[in-house]
Amino acid sequence: MNIKGLTLARISEMVGGTLKGDGERIITSITSPEAPCPGSISPLWEKKLVHDVDPEAVLLTKEGWIREGGEGVEVKDPRRALVTLLEYFDNERRAELPGTHETAVISKSAVIGRDVTIGPGCVVSDHCRIGDGCTLVGNVWLGKHVSIGDNTVIEPGVVIYDRSSLGRSCLVHANAVIGCEGFGFMPDAEKGLLRIPQIGTVVIEDGVEIGVCSSIDRGTFGETKISRGTKIDSHVKVAHNCEVGEYCIIVAQTGLAGSSTLGDRVTMAAQSGVGNHAKVGDGVVAAGRSGITNDIPSGMVVSGFPAIDHKEALRQMVALRQLPDLVKNVKRIEKMLDGLKPEKE
């Protein structure tokens, strides 16, 4: 892959930093400061790692951290500067994708915007609408009446079912499934389990990212909604009729049961879960493996199963660890008391 390089001077301009060394040095990649390679720049923001830096490394680091005679760019916030560089190199990578591949199948009734890339094996069904600047990398399947907003990127193997809607500047990673049928059954005296049809939709707002192999079920009726700016990690399950607020973070292997609700800026750590119809308030943080079974007020940090205030959960954990010693002490006291009992005549 041919990545267009940047001069060190241009990087300094992009990130608002101070240039150190040769401004004409060409940078084509980003590497670790412990193992640089020719043409690379290395981010560094942890003071404890300064002594491990290779002397030849070109650094993107904090002000005053580049040694005398060293090269790089000094900035106030290296992590934010790194994001700027990563965005540049990522856009360069995506810019090399071809236009519409000859093996793509596109319905005559589909409406395709300007500067759209549709890769090999993609299927765009009847009455789909794809906005300007979108990319379907390859083997993407769009059902009927699917709507994709401008500048959205959909990676290989993604399936988006009928009438699902994605906003602008979304990113859907490989093998995610959007708008699939929810898991709905009810006991029935004759049939054992009666399947409940799911006829709703999925609405995904602008700037949402969905990780590898995650799935978002359509509503039983009505919609399942993922609001603006939310980031969903890999292997996450969002069930029918869930509502996820703005700028939430949902980490790997988390599950949201049917009709549960997350407020804005909620963080669900790995392997956590929310039960049916539970409501999680704005700004809540659920620790890894938390199981939320009841409503959680805004601003709380919770952990455990069932999830409770995190500090209380820690106190309970400490008490639980003391339980074996407590049992030993109780048995010792019982033995002492038995020795004090009067002998029977």
CA distance 243 to 130: 24
Is pLDDT of 154 > 80? yes
Which range, of 87-101, 212-226, 244-258, 261-275, averages the lowest pLDDT?
Answer: 87-101
The mean pLDDT of 317-322, rounded to a whole number, is 89
pLDDT band at 2 (very low <50, low <70, confident <90, very high): very low
pLDDT at 267: 98
Q: What is the mean pLDDT of the segment spanning 334-343? A: 79
Whether the bond between 306 and the residue before it is cis, its omega within 30 degrees of 0, is: yes
* pLDDT tens digits along 129-140: 999 999 999 999
* Superfamily of domain 158-311 in the CATH hierarchy: Hexapeptide repeat proteins (2.160.10.10)
End-to-end CA distance of the chain: 97
What CA–CA distance (Å, rounded) separates 232 from 246? Answer: 12
Residue 35 pLDDT level (bands cut at 50, 70, 90): confident
Query: Range with the lowest mean pLDDT among 146-155, 198-207, 327-336?
Result: 327-336
For the chain, what is the mean pLDDT? 93
Bridge partners for 129 per DSSP:
111, 147
Report H helices in 3-130: 8-15, 78-95
> What per-residue confidence (pLDDT) applies to 1?
42
Q: How far, in Å, CA of 166 to CA of 209, rounded?
A: 10
Q: Rounded mean pLDDT of 91-109?
A: 79
CATH code for the domain defined by 6-95: 3.40.1390.10
- Mean pLDDT value across residues 155-171: 98
pLDDT digits (tens, 9 = 90+) for 250-277: 999 999 999 999 999 999 999 999 999 9
Least confident piece of the model among 17-26, 117-126, 312-321? 312-321
Which residues are known catalytic residues? 240
201 contact partners, CB below 8 Å, separation of at least 6: 163, 164, 165, 179, 218, 219, 222, 223, 224
- What predicted TM-score, i.e. pTM, was given to this entire model? 0.83
Q: What is the secondary structure of 50-64 as a DSSP string?
A: GGGS-TT--EEEETT
Q: Do domains 6-95 and 158-311 have the same CATH topology?
A: no
Domain regions of the chain by residue span = 6-95, 158-311
Between 204 and 3, the more confident residue is 204
Q: Identify the pLDDT of residue 345.
A: 57
